[in-house]
Chain A
């Protein structure tokens, strides 16, 4: 009896949160979810709702439902993205392992459209870039690494607790150092 009334209470809370924030949950998932991975928004949304239900069932105190749903939306989507990527990568790895003498990690990176010469040149270029990066001072290397990995200077600043001009300055100086070092290696790198 007490159990059924508890479930009813959870259901009421669940419905109330979904009533108010359901649209935002879905919209958050749609915004976070990459479109090119073949992920189903409905599946992710369903999984996110299950997580919310479990949180309520475990009597977790949800003081700020919006933030909580944001968190659920992001973590559920990231988990789904990782599952898909892992599956693809594992398939590639299993193919790579069948081919004796090929490093599975390298096998996932080699573009089949490249000629052996292009691939070799690319590997050489990579080695030089990595060596040049390794020689940079700590802060420049960190800022430049994040920049090259795809972050904006604003995002770098927020992550590292710097001001945006400081992040921008360090990225710029890092790029300049990198350019000088690559030029010494015979690579003409143009800073935009």
Chain B
């Protein structure tokens, strides 16, 4: 089998042509420009030189960009007009040069063919150029108007997109705010769950297991409580309840001043921070003008509590007695 250099090149270039499967590995136009102008970093050069042998399309594009480099350099130089224009004119030679003797040569041709000399020809050409210049300026004006119109449309699209983006941003902020709110609620709930899970062990104390359900309990401590607003004696109205280890219940007898007369009563137990932790269902006044309530050790860990007894009438409540106590186990 024979293979020429051109065949090998052609084979290689077809094999390494850009395909949809490798398109995303190709150099960007920006990278291509930097490669063509020799402005790559070491890492970029590594990537470029690694990629080009494997992609004949990128190589072709690199060559196109590279070929124009001398042109760009000549345009950028102070004395740029001559080389740049030489290059510019390279594709469309007019054949009208300024070599010595050329003027006479062209003049003779004009005289012979048209019957007038070079100055008249120059005059005609100047006129033609003037007309062409006016026409070109008009054309350019139209082109600028078209460009402005196109830019206007693009700006409108950009403005619309920005508005949509701003709206999306606002919605995202709102969603974030809600997410943070939910997060806080979850944290609070977790804390509450943790507290609840710790409560039984605290209440059951040393036993660390919930007390067994028993039909009755002997020797239940009974504590008389006087309302705080009618403290007598030393002024220290905090009642102390000390519960023996075997007891799970204790009974409080709440005394009140006078004989309050209300259609209904309410009784609430608050903790040391003033938060309600239990509300009794329809407490009733006893014959001896007291109220009784039995509390479970499990529900009330050691600490300071306040009991508020209120009379209810016509949708309003009035404080009858306020009782403070400390429970110790």
Check if B250 is an interface residue, CB within 8 A of chain A. Answer: no
Q: Say whether A159 contacts B91, CB under 8 Å.
A: no
Q: Say whether A66 contacts B68, CB under 8 Å.
A: no
Q: A21-B75, A148-B13, A188-B3 are in contact. Are A74 and B68 (CB under 8 A)?
A: yes
Q: Say whether B76 contacts A148, CB under 8 Å.
A: no
Check if B309 is an interface residue, CB within 8 A of chain A. Answer: no
Check if B67 is an interface residue, CB within 8 A of chain A. Answer: yes
Chain A residues with CB below 8 A from B38, complex form: 158
Number of interface residues of B (CB under 8 A): 60
Which residues 36-64 of B have a CB within 8 angstroms of A?
A: 36, 38, 45, 48-49, 52-57, 59-64
Check if B5 is an interface residue, CB within 8 A of chain A. Answer: yes
Q: Say whether A159 contacts B5, CB under 8 Å.
A: no
Q: Say whether A109 contacts B71, CB under 8 Å.
A: no
Chain A residues with CB below 8 A from B75, complex form: 21, 24, 66-67, 70
Chain B residues with CB below 8 A from A66, complex form: 72, 75-76, 80
- The A contact surface, by secondary structure, is helix
- The B contact surface, by secondary structure, is helix
Q: How far is the CA of A93 from the CA of B21 in the complex (A)?
A: 10
Could you give, for residues 137-170 of chain B, a 1 whenever the CB lies within 8 Å of some chain A CB and a 0 otherwise? Answer: 0000000101100110010000000000000000
CB distance from B183 to the nearest CB of A (A): 40
Q: Say whether B52 contacts A104, CB under 8 Å.
A: no
Could you give, for residues 66-95 of chain B, a 1 whenever the CB lies within 8 Å of some chain A CB and a 0 otherwise? Answer: 111001100110001000100110010000
Check if A182 is an interface residue, CB within 8 A of chain B. Answer: yes
Chain B residues with CB below 8 A from A21, complex form: 75
Check if A155 is an interface residue, CB within 8 A of chain B. Answer: yes
Q: Say whether B1 contacts A188, CB under 8 Å.
A: yes
CB distance from B12 to the nearest CB of A (A): 4
Q: A186-B1, A190-B2 are in contact. Are A149 and B20 (CB under 8 A)?
A: no
Q: Say whether A24 contacts B88, CB under 8 Å.
A: yes
Check if B204 is an interface residue, CB within 8 A of chain A. Answer: no
Q: Say whether B59 contacts A93, CB under 8 Å.
A: no
Q: A31-B68, A53-B151 are in contact. Are A148 and B8 (CB under 8 A)?
A: yes
Could you give, for residues 64-80 of chain A, a 1 whenever the CB lies within 8 Å of some chain B CB and a 0 otherwise? Answer: 10110011011111110
Chain B residues with CB below 8 A from A145, complex form: 52-54
Q: A27-B88, A146-B52, A190-B3 are in contact. Are A70 and B68 (CB under 8 A)?
A: yes
Q: Say whether B151 contacts A155, CB under 8 Å.
A: no
Q: Say whether A15 contacts B13, CB under 8 Å.
A: no
Could you give, for residues 121-151 of chain A, a 1 whenever the CB lies within 8 Å of some chain B CB and a 0 otherwise? Answer: 1100110011000000000011011101111
Q: A15-B144, A75-B30 are in contact. Are A89 and B19 (CB under 8 A)?
A: yes
Q: Say whether A126 contacts B72, CB under 8 Å.
A: no
Chain A residues with CB below 8 A from B71, complex form: 24, 28, 31, 70
Q: How far is the CA of A20 from the CA of B91 in the complex (A)?
A: 20
Could you give, for residues 26-51 of chain A, a 1 whenever the CB lies within 8 Å of some chain B CB and a 0 otherwise? Answer: 01101110100000000000100110
> Which of chain B's residues has its CB closest to A89's CB?
B20
Q: B: which residues have CB within 8 A of A?
A: 1-5, 8-9, 11-21, 23, 29-30, 32-33, 35-36, 38, 45, 48-49, 52-57, 59-68, 71-72, 75-76, 80, 84, 87-88, 91, 144, 146-147, 150-151, 154
For the complex of A and B, 10 pairs with smallest distance between CB atoms: A145-B53, A70-B72, A66-B75, A75-B29, A149-B59, A148-B12, A78-B29, A66-B76, A192-B5, A189-B3
